[in-house]
A and B are shown apart, each in its own frame.
Chain A
Amino acid sequence: MRSTPKTKSRPPRWFAGLVMIAATIALGGWVVTHFPKAPIGPRFVGAGNETPQAGGTFIFAEGSNIHTLDPHFAYDTLSTAACRLLYDGLLDYDYDGNMIPSLAASLPEVSDGGRVFRFTLREGVKFHNGRELTAEDVSWSMHRLLSERIGSPGYPFYKSIIGAPEYHTGKKDTIEGIVVLDARTIEFRLDEADQTFLNAIAMPFAYPIAREHVEALEKAEGPTAVGRNPVGAGPFSLRRWERGVQVEFDRFDDYWNPMARPAQMVFLENISPDVASARFRNGDLDIIYRPSKVSRLFIRNSEAWEPYRVDVPAAGLFALGLNCELPPFDNVHVRRAMSFAIDRSKLERLNPGKMIAATQVLPPMLPPHDPELPEAQTFDSERAKEEMRLAGYPDGIPEPVQLWVRSAGEANYAQLFQQDLKAIGIDIELKMVTFATYLKETGRPRVAQSAFTGWHQDFPDPSNFMDILFHSRSIHPENSENRSFYRNPKLDALLDAGRAEVDKAKRLELYAQANALLAADAPWVFLFYPVELFAWQPYVRNFRQHPVWLHEYRNVWLDLPRRRVSQDIYGQEATQ
């Protein structure tokens, strides 16, 4: 039988605790010095094939969820990316941002002063169920998209089709502006000339979907079933979707544009930037977009990764929106003073490689962006002071100006240029609000004096930045898209003319004038165009960042079998 604890003397407990702490530190030190080094370059290289090879599995990841695989609802980046693999549209964009035919045999014939667009379908296009695509499918898909029953967020992009609003509100059973002429020809008739309509046709909302499949699914499982079991005419078909985990795609061999493509694609969901970065550097992901901050700096500064990375300016911008209905921003000179007072290079220094200073509303890749724009918003403290004098505030504005921010990151940016604005006599008072409050309140007139704001293109056309953000038509009592409440009949006229103009050169000229006007009138103080890093494994070939689509891997091929580079090499390199 065991007796009670012995009473012989032993070291005091504090001493034992001290020993434990020392042992923990020693163990930590051993772990740090003896663990294998992280690779400083790619772990795998390609087999060395020069001609494109079909086969393999291409794996990529994102930090959030795919919401739906139904193109008529796909309005977020991830759902759009997945739908781009499963479906195809009549029109698309090439890698220079030019519009090109895709399921259409050619660009449409335009008539009636830009009101009528006639499309002829490519021959032999098949859905994943093997049936050939017809003009009826295109028409039926558009009717589904615009129906009241479905309630797609895509409706506003197509409301210029004759009869679309009446159909959308259930007043009519069909859309008269969509006319099927024969099995391969379809015509869209608009109630006003609108050249942005072609961009709308190239959006995933307008991708045709197999009618018999949708009807059978909706009948059996309800209206949301298409979102998890799609049949399109894209380069990949759905193999399976483990919701919130990953979507697996199989190459569709009857796709109209056969190319050497991977046999499978896997799109991983909910992988945080940290996990994605580690997986990528370990060779478990084939490409990475927007890695974690540490990995971004590492990859950007690594010579070994240099051939396999690219910094891509995103098609958007961040800015300060100034409420033109509220003082002091109802005075154009105060707005201009703000636009000249801010030294944007401070922002670039805070986030090296993450942004380019913005000078105008259109980002660099979108014509008619003008790098030499005379009205460009650039840092010039003397001009800023002169504008303050012209505004009638030579000694500054007596009351502080409220600036709404949505996150700690934005507050950090604001603190960087607070001193710049103070130098011309504008005191900024930050007001932190939730994203929901921000969206609701800044859409109402005469509420927020100024606010951080931004935009990312829906489609690559200057109208998508200017019409929606600055046309007086976009001002409403609630939920205004024009959140600076800027009204300028001259700008409205330029934008209306640009929207209708068929001649490309003349159209660009109209938007160039609008671009200059907006830079000079400064309803927004343009801050920066965001830049994101893409990096890919050496065996991933033919990747080029698309100017419109974020995860565009349709033309990628894998140089397999990939070869693991000896760990020793990295060990040696790591110690250099």
Chain B
Amino acid sequence: MIRFIVQRVLWGLLVVMSVVTLVFFLIFVAGDPAVTVLGPQARAEQIADFNAKKGLDRPVTEQFLSYLGILPCVRKDSPKYEREDGSRGFCGVLQGDLGESYSHHESVARVIGFRLPRTLLLASMAVLFELIIGLTAGVIAALRRNRWSDTLIMFSTFVGISLPTYVTGPISLLLFSFLLGWFPFGGYGVDPLDHIYHALLPAFILAIAGAATYARVMRGELIETLRHDHVRTAKAKGMPPSQVVIRHAIRNALLPVVTLIGLSLPFLVGGAIITEKIFAWPGLGLLTIESIESLDAPVIMAVVLMFGIAVQVGNLFADIAVAALDPRIRLND
């Protein structure tokens, strides 16, 4: 198990490193950040000043190695640029320095520090909704197989999977916020309870597709599990039907769902981009859009780094959770 985790972490680091390298050079090819950040009205002098201050006038390989923290700092505006003895300091990822945002005039860590908890709140509420709605619906559909309730649930899951958030989001805002006034018109609110209240509608919208998928997977798995010998044995022993389902069937049927949750976590954070935009939820998704639009390279890089790590952690979590739920699975196999 430990060997497996170490191997996975090392492999994950390699993948993250490759993604970071690729994106760094892609941003460099995409255009001139100075021109994009300062806007179409920027003077040539402003652009030259900006490039010198951010080290963008240095060769791209030097910029990259300096970003990683292997070569000395190229950003003149970094407090680490010059040490007290006059030599150049290091200001890269290896030193825990993600740089300063081009457009926010603030350290990237601070910019992300503001946004990340908001996205985590939205994503965790969405996961909660997905699980509650999806699993409940899946179990009901499996137990009421081929009845009206099953047909209704499966029909709803088709609809849920088919409707994209950019359709359900604005419609739900129009209905539940504008016309009925049950939920706020997007935004984030001002205190913790208010944040949760503001997150209800976007989290629900974000959860629809996931809940539908979980319901379908859960239904299929549960129907399959209910046919297994151990379930039949449990029934034959006279165990109450509810106990059979809860103790013997659902636990086994959950395995693929857990894998799905693990794999979908990072995409939930990423997929929140559209929902955040529609509901004016000021999280990482909105920040990503803004940063790409303004070629705010340090923020884009930090977000890529985080998503890369989130994907690796999500996969690892799924593998470990499956092993924990099913003693037959050995991770070293």
Contact = CB atoms under 8 A, between A and B. Distances in A.
Given A2-B241, A271-B187, A458 B41 contact: yes
A67 B31 contact: no
A516 B107 CA distance: 48
21 contacts: A1-B235, A16-B151, A16-B155, A35-B180, A64-B290, A149-B77, A155-B45, A155-B46, A159-B45, A224-B106, A224-B107, A244-B115, A244-B286, A245-B187, A271-B280, A275-B186, A436-B32, A439-B32, A439-B36, A468-B43, A481-B43
Given A151-B53, A224-B106, A245-B188, A20 B155 contact: yes
B83 interface: no
Contacts of B77: 149, 151, 223
B20 to A, nearest CB: 20
B155 to A, nearest CB: 4
A502 interface: no
B178 interface: yes
A279 interface: yes
A242 interface: yes
Given A67-B104, A228-B106, 16 more contacts: A17-B151, A20-B152, A68-B104, A76-B39, A151-B53, A224-B105, A242-B188, A244-B188, A246-B190, A275-B185, A275-B187, A278-B178, A436-B31, A436-B295, A440-B31, A443-B44
B105 A439 contact: no
Interface string A449-486: 00001111010000000001000001010111100000
B35 A436 contact: yes
Nearest to B146: A5
A436 B37 CA distance: 9
Interface in A424-462: 434-437, 439-440, 443, 453-456, 458
Contacts of A278: 173-174, 177-178, 185
A544 B38 CA distance: 29
A284 B185 contact: yes
A434 B30 contact: yes
Interface in B249-289: 277-280, 282, 286-287
B104 A435 contact: no
B5 interface: no
Contacts of B159: 24
Interface of A: 1-2, 5, 10, 13, 16-17, 20, 24, 31, 35-36, 38, 64-65, 67-68, 70, 73, 75-76, 149, 151, 153, 155-156, 159, 222-224, 227-228, 242-246, 268-272, 274-275, 278-279, 281-282, 284, 434-437, 439-440, 443, 453-456, 458, 468, 474, 476, 478-481
B132 interface: no
A412 B156 CA distance: 39
B105 A67 contact: yes
Contacts of B53: 151
B59 to A, nearest CB: 17
Contacts, number: 159
A36 B49 CA distance: 56
A20 B30 contact: no
Given A38-B179, A64-B290, A156 B30 contact: no
Contacts of B290: 64-65
Contact of B38 (A2, A153, A268, A456): A153
A358 to B, nearest CB: 17
4 closest cross-chain pairs (CB), A and B: A436-B31, A244-B282, A439-B35, A16-B151
A156 B46 contact: yes
In this complex, the member of A153, A156, A474 whose beta carbon has the largest number of chain B beta carbons within 10 angstroms is A153
Contacts of A159: 45
B31 A269 contact: no
A12 to B, nearest CB: 11
A478 B56 CA distance: 15
B319 interface: no
Contacts of A64: 290
A272 B49 contact: no
Contact of B32 (A153, A223, A272, A440): A440
Contacts of B40: 439, 453-454
Contacts of A2: 241
Contacts of A36: 179-180
A435 B36 contact: yes
Given A156-B46, A434-B30, A242 B175 contact: no
A224 to B, nearest CB: 5
A151 B50 contact: yes
Contacts of A468: 41, 43
A272 B45 contact: no
A454 B40 CA distance: 9
Contacts of A476: 44
B79 interface: yes
A20 B148 CA distance: 10
Given A151-B53, A224-B100, A282-B178, A478 B106 contact: no
